[in-house]
């Protein structure tokens, strides 16, 4: 019995049972643990949201740069195709290496985690355009009967890209811009 009284003594304050004291301590401990848990959840949610918004901001700038580079390449391809079909074909013969599209942004996108957030039809369309344009420019550099059809194909491909690929990319970029502006993110 002496053993039991020694053990129950820790629950007594001033030698008197104090159930209220221990109940209050238990509530404080539970509230503290719950508060820390809820604060951690909120902090984690905010961190994830912040990271997502910063990734979207990077994605917006990547899309904008890609669109501008692609638009410049379309303009350049149009100039070359029109020059070739307009009587300046000799300038292309054996000089196709001088007629290459600029792909700095396109090449740099291989190392960006935001690349595959760009719509697949846009990425695929650009990849196919660059492949076909490169082949057409090389064929335009030969002085054979395939040179003129290659120039015509280059002009047709640029017109198609302006009607299909560019609007897809611009629509995606503009939707992302609206979402970021709605979240209060400065895009400058």
Each residue's pLDDT tens digit, 42-52: 888 888 888 88
**In the predicted structure, residue 15 carries a pLDDT above the cut 60:** no
Q: Tell me if 181 sits within 8 A of 134, measured CB to CB.
A: no
Beta strand segments in the chain, E: 12-13, 16-17
Kind and range of the H or E element at 116?
Answer: none
Whole-model pTM: value is: 0.76
- Angle, CA 64 vertex, CA 61 and CA 67 arms, to 5°: 150
If you count them, how many residues does the chain have? 188
Exposed, middle or buried, 158 (CB in 10 Å: 0-12/13-18/19+)? Answer: buried
- Rounded to the nearest angstrom, the gap between the alpha carbon of residue 115 and the centroid of all alpha carbons in its chain is 5
Number of H helices, E strands in the chain: 5, 2
Distance (Å, whole) CA 88 – CA 92: 8
Q: Which of 96, 69, 75, 72 is nearest to 150 (CA)?
A: 96
**In the predicted structure, residue 104 carries a pLDDT above the cut 90:** yes
DSSP lists the bridge partners of residue 110 as none
Each residue's pLDDT tens digit, 113-140: 889 899 999 999 999 999 999 999 888 8
Distance (Å, whole) CA 117 – CA 128: 18
Domain map (residue ranges) of the chain: 56-182
**In the predicted structure, residue 14 carries a pLDDT above the cut 60:** no
């Amino acid at each position: 019995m002496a053993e039991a009284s020694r053990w129950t003594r820790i629950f007594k304050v001033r030698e008197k049972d104090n159930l209220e004291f221990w109940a209050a301590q238990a509530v404080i401990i539970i509230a503290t643990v719950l508060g820390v848990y809820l604060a951690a959840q909120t902090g984690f949610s905010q961190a994830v949201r912040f990271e997502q918004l910063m990734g979207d901001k990077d994605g917006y700038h990547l899309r904008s740069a890609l669109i501008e580079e692609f638009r410049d390449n379309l303009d350049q391809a149009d100039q070359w195709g029109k020059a070739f079909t307009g009587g300046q074909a000799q300038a292309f013969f054996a000089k196709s290496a001088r007629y290459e599209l600029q792909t700095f942004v396109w090449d740099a996108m291989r190392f960006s985690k935001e690349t595959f957030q760009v719509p697949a039809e846009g990425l695929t369309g650009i990849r196919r355009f660059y492949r076909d344009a490169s082949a057409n420019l090389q064929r335009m550099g030969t002085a054979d009967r395939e040179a003129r059809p290659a120039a015509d194909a280059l002009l047709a491909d640029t017109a198609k890209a302006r009607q299909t690929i560019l609007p897809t990319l611009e629509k995606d970029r503009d939707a992302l811009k609206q979402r970021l502006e709605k979240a209060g993110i400065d895009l400058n």
